[in-house]
């Protein structure tokens, strides 16, 4: 089977998950994706937990009625995937990602005790993409 990292992963749910930090418990925006057929993505949380985050780059691009958020890792493993969100974002989810400048990505419900991949997001850059109009 050929893997096309440009094909967006199916989003199962969006919300928030509670994370313990030095500042206490904080709620971070979280997305649960379907990693069926993408063992490389399904294993990222374990790699993140054992090897550390490594080198991660994110990029948000408006694509018509959607915002495509791509995540690319180059170390400790190489992996790339895209998540697609509605550009009108009725839940305000992407706004919360801008504010938190972070996104927790899980391949199962975060409250199930699974480890998750947490990536830094350039909140200003994402806000600029959200502010662009459909035709821009």
17-34: pLDDT as tens digits:
888 888 899 899 999 999
- pLDDT, mean of residues 75-86: 92
Instruction: State how far the Cα of 27 lies from the Cα of 50, in Å rounded to an integer.
Output: 23
Tokens of 110: 């975060």
What pLDDT band is residue 102 in, cutting at 50, 70 and 90? very high
pLDDT at 106 over 50: yes
Q: What is the pLDDT of residue 2?
A: 46
Tokens of 132: 């662009």
Instruction: State how far the Cα of 66 lies from the Cα of 76, in Å rounded to an integer.
Output: 30
pLDDT at 1 over 50: no
Q: What is the pLDDT of residue 113?
A: 57
């Amino acid at each position: 089977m050929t893997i096309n990292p440009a094909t967006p992963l199916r989003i199962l749910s969006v919300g928030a998950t509670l994370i313990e930090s030095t500042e206490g418990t904080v709620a971070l925006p979280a997305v649960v994706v379907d990693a069926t057929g993408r063992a490389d993505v399904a294993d990222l949380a374990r790699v993140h937990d054992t090897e550390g985050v490594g080198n991660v780059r994110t990029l948000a691009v408006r694509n018509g009625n959607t915002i495509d958020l791509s995540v690319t890792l180059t170390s400790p493993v190489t992996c790339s995937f895209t998540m697609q969100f509605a550009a009108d974002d009725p839940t305000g989810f992407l706004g919360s990602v801008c504010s938190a400048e972070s996104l927790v990505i899980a391949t199962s419900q975060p409250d199930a005790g699974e480890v998750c991949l947490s990536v830094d997001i350039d909140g200003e850059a994402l806000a600029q993409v959200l502010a662009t109009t459909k035709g821009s």
